Amino acid sequence: MTVSRFEGSRQTGEWPPDYPRLQQNFAAAAEQFISDNRDHPFFLELALSAPHLPNYELEGFAGRSKNAGAFGDAVMEIDSIVGRVFDRLRREGLDRDTLVIFTSDNGPWFEGSTGGLRQRKGGGAYDGGYRVPFIARWPGTIPAGRRSDALACGIDLLPTLCALAGSEAPQGIDGKDLSAVLTRGAPSPREEVLLFQDEAVVGIRTQKWKYVAGDFYMGMFLPFEGRGFPQLYDMTRLGEQYSLAARFPDVTRALKTRFDEATAEFAPFRKADTVKTGRMGPPRGESIPRIWRD
C-alpha cells in the first residue's frame, strides 16, 4: 500500500493517487500506525482529503448515501473510517486512554449543509466558511455529552494537547491552552479570533461580536469592499443576517482599532501577491501575478 503525499515539494508517495481508494489507504495506514505504536505514547493526525473535491465513485460506498451523490458517499465513507479507528483502538486496548478529536479546516464549499451559517468556504469572513465542528472524546477525562460555546481556534490545538499530555508548549506561539475548557467546562482564555484570507486579516471575532472588514470570493478579481462595510454582527444570533454597525458605533470603532492593529502586526508576513484585506485578487492597477494566472 502506498499513500500519496508530499514533503515540501518532494513526492514521497504515488502520483496521481488512486482516488477511489485514497481514503481507505489513509485509514489502513492509520490502523497500522496505531498497532505499531500501541506500547508507547503516540500522536496521529489522520487528515482525510474527502469530502473535498474531487469526489470519485468510491469502492464499496458508491450509491450508499442514496440521493446525496458522490459527496454524500464520501461522508458515508468518512463515518466508516472513524468507526475503523475506534475499532482498532479498542482492539489494542487503547480506547479509554486515547484522546480523539474530530474537526475540520473549513466549512463546506459547493456541497454539504452549513447548518444555517452564512456563506461557505471561500466567501467572506462569515461563519459558513470559518466555523467547524470540534468533537473531543477521552473517557474519564472529558465528560461525555458536554457542549461548549467557548471561543476557540485551530492554533489552540498545540498548547491544549501539550497541556493534556503533561508537557510544555513552545514559547512565543499564538495558541491558547483550552484544556480546562475541555475537562472542566471553564471559560475560554481566548478573547478574540482573527480571521484570515491567506496572510490578510479580513475580520475579527470576540465571544459576542464579529467585525467584518470586507467581502471576497475565491477566484474572482472583484473588489467587494466599500458600500456596506464594515459590518458588525451579534454572534449570539445564528446566521449573521443583519449588520449592527450603525446601532453600536462604539463597538464598531473599538473592533476597527483592534482590526487595524492586527493588520499592521501581520503586514510584515504578507507575500507580495496575497490578497488585500477584503479583496480577492491582485491589487487594483497591477497586472495579475503568475500565482493568479495558473
Residues 134-189 have pLDDT tens digits of: 999 999 999 999 999 999 999 999 999 999 999 999 999 999 999 999 999 999 99
> Where along the chain do its domains lie?
153-183
* pLDDT tens for each residue of 35-48: 999 999 999 999 99
Which of the four pLDDT bands, split at 50, 70 and 90, describes residue 11? low
- Are 123 and 217 contacting, i.e. CB atoms less than 8 angstroms apart? yes
Rg of the chain's alpha carbons, rounded to an integer? 21
Instruction: Look at the block and give the residue holding cell 460506498.
Output: 61
Q: Is 185 left (phi over 0), alpha (psi -120 to 50) or beta?
A: left
* pLDDT tens for each residue of 217-250: 554 444 544 457 899 999 999 889 999 999 999 9
Which residue from 180, 165, 199 is spatially nearest to 267, judged by alpha carbons?
199
- Are 199 and 260 contacting, i.e. CB atoms less than 8 angstroms apart? no
Q: Is 120 left (phi over 0), alpha (psi -120 to 50) or beta?
A: beta
Residue 260 predicted with pLDDT over 60:
yes
Which of the four pLDDT bands, split at 50, 70 and 90, describes residue 277? very low
Residue 31: phi and psi, rounded to 5, are -60, -45
Q: Which pLDDT score, from 0 to 100, does residue 289 have? A: 33
Please tell me the pTM assigned to this model. 0.83
Higher-pLDDT residue of 38, 54: 38
Share of the chain above pLDDT 70, in %: 83
Q: Which pLDDT score, from 0 to 100, does residue 221 have? A: 45
Q: Is 135 helix (H, G, I), strand (E, B) or coil?
A: strand
Q: Cα–Cα distance between 181 and 187 in angstroms, integer?
A: 6
Query: Taking the alpha carbons of 149, 150, 152, 158 in that order, is the dihedral positive or negative?
Result: negative
Higher-pLDDT residue of 219, 88: 88
- Residues shown for the chain: 294
Share of the chain above pLDDT 90, in %: 59
Q: Which pLDDT score, from 0 to 100, does residue 1 have? A: 53
Instruction: Describe the chain by its helix, strand, coil percentages, rounded to 5.
Output: 30, 10, 60
Which residue from 124, 130, 288, 108 is spatially nearest to 216, judged by alpha carbons?
124
* pLDDT tens for each residue of 61-78: 988 998 889 999 999 999
Residue 123 per-residue DSSP state: B
Q: Is 161 helix (H, G, I), strand (E, B) or coil?
A: helix
User: Per the structure block, which three cell numbers stand in for 29?
Assistant: 495506514
Residue 280 predicted with pLDDT over 50:
no
Task: Work out the mean pLDDT of the chain and round it to a whole number.
Answer: 85
